[in-house]
A and B are shown apart, each in its own frame.
Chain A
Amino acid sequence: MRHITKIYPNGVLADNDVTFEVRAGEIHALVGENGAGKSTLMKILYGMERPTSGQIILRGKPVTIHTPHEAIALGIGMVHQNFMLVPSFTIAENIVLGAEPLRGAFVDRRAAIAATTRLAQEYGLSVDPEAVVDAVPVGMRQRVEILKALYRGADVLILDEPTAVLTPQETHELFAAIRQLVNAGKTVIFISHKLREVMEISDRISVMRDARMVGTIDKREADEHLLARMMVGREVFLDIEKPPAQRGPVVLKVRDLEYATEAGVEVLKHVSFNVYAGEILGIAGVEGNGQTELVEVIAGLRAPLGGVIELDGKSIAGLTPREVRRAGVAHIPEDRLTNGVAMTLSIQENLIVDRYAREPFTRGGLMRPAEIARNSEALIEQYAIRAPDGTLPVGSLSGGNMQKVVVARELSSRPKLLIAAQPTRGVDIGATEFMHEQLIKARNAGVAILLVSADLSEVMSLSDRLAVMHDGRIVAIFPDARGLTEEEVGLYMLGTKTMTPAEIERNW
């Protein structure tokens, strides 16, 4: 791909003169922060987006790719981050979808199953051809997606953040399968921002930042620090300066908390811990081990099956989100677009959604625009929200500024407990540092903070104490997050090591 530039109709420059080269038969990792332009680049290669300018050269010949169909015809296959499967169809049906083998006028099911079995064996991607997709685990669904691309004759496979949804064990299996694919002569492009995985699997690594290609290096010349520097453009300071915690009394007490989904899957199993005033308790863990549910149960968004949740000694279990907030809990939700802001409402309105019906914003049943505007002006200044005007819709702000609106609202409610779930996900470095400062400031002011983050270095450097979740349980609580290594915490995250219940209880 030579000199690719992509400007979206809304003026966003996603790729700026990017040149990207992949050799046949290699595993090539494409890394970069969210929004660096790697997904757009791959969408251009797969025909889902058209470049504003630039050229694609495949096997020595310039090609134009306008639709995924054309990409498939050229032997390019893509496995999307969110799977493109039909849930009620069997695995074989999904694999042959759109290119079904026929017998007469009818679709030949037996041939579809045979083709699936053959491909699965050839590439070591085990699937059950006759199982319905809805009923199989995520790892198998991903293998189905890969087989789907192979069935269509893909030689070049683009895997878009394939490990984001996998357990460590499944990731391991995926890597084995990728190696087998390459041995069979396929070429794999692996999009990721997890440096450790990139170092493990790839032959060469290309790094993107701010819509530009920073460079391509051989794995042998690379290490994680070099890659990190290339990704963010400067040495990353993983250590955050903060004064020692002035730990106060217990604010949040959680005991034996249990939760299960409607389908009956146990997600939280006897979770117990305390959060004290003036400290940050971090929760580390591979995503999908119950962190999301833990946060939402405490925030009142889901009802627990059993257990105790107390705030300042009063039970808040099973209360509505509004009641939980009234009791003094603030919540920065992980999915800010859905739960954090109302996209079409103004900044002013988003800043008061939890208190619009109270003084001073409402008096005598009527809202008071002057008060609302004054409030938003003050918060915009205090939290350095980059917006010309509080009446603009929140949806027009960047991710980082949108998050600042959420943080401004939550912290200005003067909470006793702040739950921050993935507070810096998808926001730029500057906004990230600002978030960190705000969290430390709130902690120093005596707020109890429960921090959940998938970013291990973030959660380790911000937290005073660190808990690790695995498979719905708290498997470790470290009384001092300083001096821990990622490797050590990683062992607990993967469930290889666990503390004894007595040890954990000592550190509640």
Chain B
Amino acid sequence: MEQALQVIFSATFIAAVLRVTTPILLPALGGLVAELGGVANIALEGIMLTAACAGVLISVATQSEWLGLLAGVAMGVLMALVLAFFHLNLKADVILAAIAINILASGSTIFVVFLLTGDKGSTSALVSKQMPFVEIPLIRDIPLLGPIVSGQNLLTYVAFIAVALVAVFLYRTRAGIHLRAVGENPEAARSVGINVRAQQYLALALSGLLAALGGVYLSMGYVKFFARDMTAGRGFIALAAIFLGGKTPLGTMIAALVFGAAEALSVQLGNLRVPNQLVQMIPYVATLVALVVYALAQRQRAIARQRKFRQAQAT
């Protein structure tokens, strides 16, 4: 127990939290943009997976992590646009289309990896590149804070900066405001001349971009290879983070950090003598618990409202 506590209250642990939050936070921000644009994007998982795979393969082929990143992001945006086309042009149900994309992503990535390496499990046989880790001068030398803030992967910084960027985009720019108007009342938006479909394409493209960054981080930052189904449900945990965070950028970040902490804990406890299977459950159980707590809080609020009303009536 003591050992466990020591683990949790260390700078290494907090640094680890940021590290594992990154691939939840990025797709969560993407999902948030889509959600506020009025399209529930449950294809985050599949988009991440294809982006992770494309990034690794292109970095192998070109030996450039930057071209890998570019390829991964392009792949993610492409997948999101495919979803947008099916939903917005062909009027397919967005949930079904997204499920199809998730299944397609899972199967096709394995297929491509097998074609290239003969291995159905991972690309560890190939020499792929990794996004750079950034040592920040001065901050690096601050005790405690230094090891947490400095030395993270470039995409981790991108993720947290993206929180602010997404917030500014959604609440301060014309495009962001139009996007939210479309998500909330498409008729109203249309009546003032906003192109509803174009806004929803934009929302999905942005969600594809952000989710793809999360995917690329997994295979080119967190580790240095692509493995089958390596997203392991992060795209879905990201969705939970959006709702738990009250559909705001800051709230989504906090929720993502909670899930990140749960996952980091499971990684750390894996080093101790706790059964592996139990430990691996932690992030998912945390998600479940968080959602139950959220639902209960909602109900509590409704009950409190009713009670207040009855009291007001009694007097």
Which A residues form the contact surface with B (CB < 8 A)? 67-69, 72, 80, 83-89, 93-94, 97-100, 102, 105-107, 148, 152, 260, 262-264, 266
Contact = CB atoms under 8 A, between A and B. Distances in A.
A262 B302 contact: yes
Nearest to B309: A264
A97 B184 contact: no
Nearest to B182: A86
Interface in B273-315: 302, 305-306, 308-309, 312-313
A291 to B, nearest CB: 21
Contacts of A262: 302, 305-306
Given A264-B305, A264-B308, A85 B173 contact: no
Contact of B173 (A87, A89, A106, A264): A106
Contacts of B185: 84-87
Contact of B188 (A85, A152, A264, A266): A85
A55 B302 CA distance: 55
Given A100-B177, A107-B177, A264 B306 contact: yes
Interface string B54-71: 000000000000000000
A69 B191 CA distance: 8
Given A97-B181, A264-B309, A86 B174 contact: no
Contact of A266 (B178, B306, B313): B313
B192 interface: yes
Contacts of B172: 106-107
B93 interface: no
Contact of A97 (B187, B189, B302, B313): B189
A80 B191 contact: yes
Contact of B193 (A69, A93, A106): A69
B40 interface: no
Contacts of A72: 193
Contacts of A97: 177-178, 181, 188-189, 192, 194
B193 A86 contact: no
Contacts of A68: 190-191, 193
Nearest to A102: B174
Nearest to B308: A264
Top 4 A-B pairs ranked by shortest CB distance? A98-B192, A264-B309, A84-B188, A69-B193
Given A89-B181, A97-B181, A264-B309, A84 B173 contact: no
Given A72-B193, A262-B302, A264-B308, 11 more contacts: A68-B191, A83-B188, A84-B191, A89-B177, A98-B189, A100-B177, A107-B177, A262-B305, A264-B306, A264-B309, A266-B313
A88 B184 contact: yes
A99 B192 contact: yes
A107 B173 contact: yes
A262 to B, nearest CB: 7
Contacts of B312: 264
A454 to B, nearest CB: 25
Nearest to B192: A98
15 contacts: A68-B191, A85-B185, A87-B184, A88-B180, A88-B184, A89-B177, A89-B180, A97-B178, A97-B192, A97-B194, A98-B193, A105-B173, A107-B172, A107-B173, A107-B177
Contact of A86 (B173, B189, B306): B189
Nearest to A67: B193
B188 A86 contact: yes
Interface of B: 168, 172-174, 177-178, 180-181, 184-185, 187-194, 302, 305-306, 308-309, 312-313
Contacts of B178: 97-98
A93 B172 CA distance: 11
A152 B191 CA distance: 12
A93 B178 CA distance: 10
Contacts of A85: 185, 188
B177 A93 contact: yes
A93 B275 CA distance: 55
B169 to A, nearest CB: 10
A152 B192 CA distance: 9
A67 B195 CA distance: 12
Contacts of A83: 188
A106 B168 CA distance: 9
A83 B173 CA distance: 24
Contact of A107 (B174, B189, B302, B308): B174
A99 B191 CA distance: 12
B198 to A, nearest CB: 13
Nearest to B176: A107
Contacts of B174: 100, 102, 107
**Quick one: which of A67, A69, A98 has the most chain B CB within 10 A?**
A98
Contacts of B180: 86, 88-89
B173 A148 contact: no
A87 B313 CA distance: 28
Nearest to A263: B305
Contacts of A264: 305-306, 308-309, 312
A349 B229 CA distance: 50
Contact of B309 (A87, A102, A152, A260): A260
Contacts of B190: 68
Residue from B180, B181, B305 with most neighbouring chain A CB atoms (10 Å): B181
A55 B259 CA distance: 63
Nearest to A258: B313
Contacts of A100: 174, 177
A50 B192 CA distance: 18
A152 to B, nearest CB: 8
A292 B172 CA distance: 42
Contacts of A67: 193
A93 B170 CA distance: 13
Q: By CB atoms of chain A within 10 A, which of B178, B184, B191, B308 has the most? A: B191
B311 to A, nearest CB: 10
Contacts of B168: 106
A98 B194 contact: yes
A102 B312 CA distance: 46
Nearest to B187: A84
| Residue in B192, B194, B308 whose Cβ sees the most chain A Cβ within 10 Å | B192
A100 B309 CA distance: 40
